[in-house]
Amino acid sequence: MLPAAIHNFRQAGYEVWMDDFGSGYSFLNYLKNFEFDEIKLDMIFMKDFDEASKKILTACVKMAKDLGIHTLAEGVETKQKLDFLQSIGCERIQGFYYSKPLPTGEFAKLVAEKGIEIENWQQSKFYQCVGLVDLASDKPTCLALDDGSHFRLLYVNEEFQKEVKRAPAVFKQIVNEWNKPESEIAKRLQAFAKKVDQGEASYFDFKQTEQYLRLSAQQIARHENYQILLINASDITVQYLK
């Protein structure tokens, strides 16, 4: 298929995915010459799940995000592999970890039994915005979902965890109290989140005894009453009173 044909196909509202990414000799040329919405990382990386495979997968996911392309990993069969893919920001998985391929009726039964919510297209677009965030960053990164009254941590990378350990008391207080309506921290955080939503604020300071924690946030996705806030590496500082 010619690049122009793929372009027209996408302009008509269809998504174009590349299957078995990483299994051919010229797959990088395909990314250069064609427009893709998503790449499916070949299951060979899951079969030989060694350090080399992990580095290649990490690089592929990061490159795809830089190009605005979503990622799916094939052949995922264990929690160890799932956890790793989540840590590098791979958005979707395909494999026996959740289930083998099922007929439509059995699939619907499985979804109902596990209480899995099937997202609609608006929710899909909402989470796709989140999917392009580089979670394998070497900067402290956190994603939080705000529904206007409650916060929920979606993702916290290792660098962020290291950063908040420098001010453990204040971070613990934030997480313990940010969803308690009567809490002063909850009220201040909700006010801050509302200002972020309106484009009026970008950072917020907390103080606990002799610890200061500055949280900086930006909105990366919005849908109805929900917004997802990105707290990023370069935007988090921890300071101590001298």
Q: Is the predicted pLDDT of residue 237 greater than 70, yes or no?
A: no
Residue of 159, 110, 109 lying closest to 134 (CA atoms): 159
Please check whether residue 129 is in contact with residue 70, taking contact to mean a CB–CB distance below 8 angstroms. no
Q: Is the predicted pLDDT of residue 13 greater than 60, yes or no?
A: yes
How does pLDDT run across 91-105, given as a tens digit for each residue? 999 999 988 899 999
Cα gap 230→155, rounded to integer Å: 10
Q: Is the predicted pLDDT of residue 82 greater than 90, yes or no?
A: yes
Mean pLDDT confidence for 45-68: 93
Mean pLDDT confidence for 148-172: 76
DSSP assignment of the chain equals: --HHHHHHHHHTT---EEEEETSSSSHHHHHHHS--SEEEE-THHHHT-SHHHHHHHHHHHHHHHHTT-EEEEE---SHHHHHHHHHHT--EEESTTT-----HHHHHHHHHHHTPPPP-HHHHHHHHHHHTS-TT-SS--EEEEE-SS-EEEEEE-HHHHHHHTTSHHHHHHHHHHTT-TT-HHHHHHHHHHHHHHTTS--EEEEEETTEEEEEEEEEEEEETTEEEEEE-GGG-EEEE--
Please check whether residue 75 is in contact with residue 47, taking contact to mean a CB–CB distance below 8 angstroms. yes
Confidence of residue 36 (pLDDT cuts 50, 70, 90): very high
Q: Parallel, antiparallel, or unpaired for β 38-41 and 70-74?
A: parallel
Cα gap 69→109, rounded to integer Å: 32
Q: Is the predicted pLDDT of residue 65 greater than 70, yes or no?
A: yes
Please check whether residue 139 is in contact with residue 161, taking contact to mean a CB–CB distance below 8 angstroms. no
pLDDT of res. 70: 95
CATH number for 3-118: choose from 3.20.20.450, 3.90.180.10, 3.30.365.10, 1.20.1270.10. 3.20.20.450
Q: Parallel, antiparallel, or unpaired for β 17-21 and 226-231?
A: unpaired
Distance of CA 199 to the CA centre of its chain: 22
Q: Is the predicted pLDDT of residue 81 greater than 80, yes or no?
A: yes
Angle at the Cα of 99 from the Cα atoms of 98 and 100, rounded to 5 degrees: 145
